[in-house]
Chains A and B, each alone.
Chain A
Amino acid sequence: MIEIKNVTKIYSGRKVLDNASISINDGEIFSVIGPSGCGKSTLLKSIVRLIKPEAGQILVDGRDIVHVDDEFELAKIRKDFGYLFQGGALFDSLTVMENVTFGLKYLTDIPRSEYPRIAREKLALVGLENAENVKPAELSGGMKKRAALARAIAAEPKYIFYDEPTTGLDPITSDMILGLISDMAAKLKITSIIVTHDIKLAFTISNRIAMLDKGNFEISGTPEELRKSSSPAFRKFTEDALSSDVAEKRNGLDLKHKKY
């Protein structure tokens, strides 16, 4: 279980996270939504301690990680974490297989001889069976995300963090990633924490959703609870996305090319 208690993070005098508090239960798919710049990625990076909050507590299975500064200790804590970065963040100089097995050396005691088998197994899970010896530069955006997902799950983490998993992808690839996230959670019993402004993704696969606005959690609950919410900030952020009437939205815009 991850408990975030009164976390504050300040960048250049601006409070990106302002006394934010929320709990994430084991086994659930938890999405954090919110407009760009509201602190979603900062929250995710704070949980894995890529950045250190100025105040508050982040309890991972009861242990406060905010005040752990020793890199060795942090590496031990991160054994439980898998992280899918927005752009994949695959290492350009390594092949896909080397990328997938990269963390095994540092995070596990698995012998090196087992690495190819694990890489093939994880790549098969994400549907990239024949990409083992390819360099990341040769992959498409969707394939990069899938290879990065295989890398994130290689050491079989307890928690997996997805930073904007569908950003920059076409609708078909987005749906594929969405299916993979759901599959990973079901097959591997992983707790999934997703940061996204893709409302469709959040409402389709999440057990719970929280909305971050101005550094604090505006609202949280199940998708059904949120649909009934009357929070103005939440309604403003989601009404267009939850509305299926695209024509209505289009008519409201002053599109110069509309008459053509």
Chain B
Amino acid sequence: MKHYIAENVGRRFMTLVQKMGAATLMLKSVVVWTFRVKPETREIVKQSVRIGVDSLAVTLLTSFFTGMVLALQMGHTSKYLFNEPLYIGTMVAFSLVKELAPVLTSIVVAGRVGAAVTAEIGTMKVTEQIDALYTLGTNPTRYLLIPRYAAFMITLPLLTVFADFTGIFGGFLVSNIKFNVPSSVYWNDIITFMEIKNFMHGFVKTFAFAFMIVTVSCYKGLTCEEGAEGVGKATTEAVVMSMVLVMVLDYFISAALVAIGLI
């Protein structure tokens, strides 16, 4: 029994090491080809539109309601504790800018676009379209991966900025309409306490999230098993892994940023 467990653990560990090695080789290939050839500008624009523009509505909707519910909870808590709806703007803005907007936007993009990227690359693999790229003088790194890396790194931080503003505006509507907080008070609460470094704390994290989501999505697509079942399985794994890793990375990057004073 012990022998069986040890063998099983050993096999799983070896598989994990092999996968990490393959993902590292994929990253190396992306770095090498980025400096070796001219970028596929049309593909980068196409992918940026797909990730950015097509995800904008759902991102804004998510952050708008998140801002509203934060204001609602903060208003009630504040009234319960101090008999006054105090510092709603400050709490909404800090929560959104530092944590909720980057994390929620990344989760929305991982679910919406990361899944699509894995499914598309996986389908291309099982229908020999990846092989076709080689026979037509290019390769998947140059034509598929680099444009997607560029598009994710450009659009996810931009989407997060839009999410920041939309969420704060949602919070303003609730604090103003439901708790009768004057607009000047709400905005002053934000401007007085919010600094550029607070904004940067959240903004910097989105680059790491974008890099991680696109790496997981592309890797899962390129290594998916044959057939429709293989593509479906790879897509599910990519989404789940991306979402979990967003949460895990969020803690460690936040801790590192706090340690260097970017609170």
Contacts and interface: CB of A to CB of B under 8 A. Distances in A.
A48 B135 contact: yes
B137 A79 contact: yes
A103 B134 contact: no
B195 interface: no
A85 B132 contact: yes
A106 B138 contact: yes
A236 B138 CA distance: 42
Interface in A45-61: 45, 48, 50
B73 interface: no
A162 interface: no
Interface residues of B, number: 15
B62 interface: no
Contact of B137 (A50, A86, A106): A106
B129 interface: yes
Contacts of B139: 71, 75
A27 interface: no
* Chain A: interface size category: 20 to 34
Interface string B109-148: 0000000000010011001110110111111000000000
A54 B136 CA distance: 24
Contacts of A91: 124, 129, 132
Contacts of A135: none
Nearest to A108: B137
Nearest to A71: B139
A163 to B, nearest CB: 9
Interface string B134-177: 11111100000000000000000000000000000000000000
B127 A89 contact: yes
A31 to B, nearest CB: 20
Interface string A131-163: 000000000000000000001100100000000
A102 interface: yes
Contacts of B124: 91-92
Interface in B219-233: none
Interface of B: 36, 120, 123-124, 127-129, 131-132, 134-139
Interface of A: 45, 48, 50, 71-72, 74-75, 78-79, 81-83, 85-87, 89-93, 102-103, 105-107, 151-152, 155
Given A92-B123, A151-B136, 16 more contacts: A50-B131, A71-B139, A72-B36, A74-B134, A79-B137, A83-B131, A85-B128, A85-B132, A89-B132, A90-B132, A91-B129, A91-B132, A103-B135, A106-B137, A106-B138, A107-B136
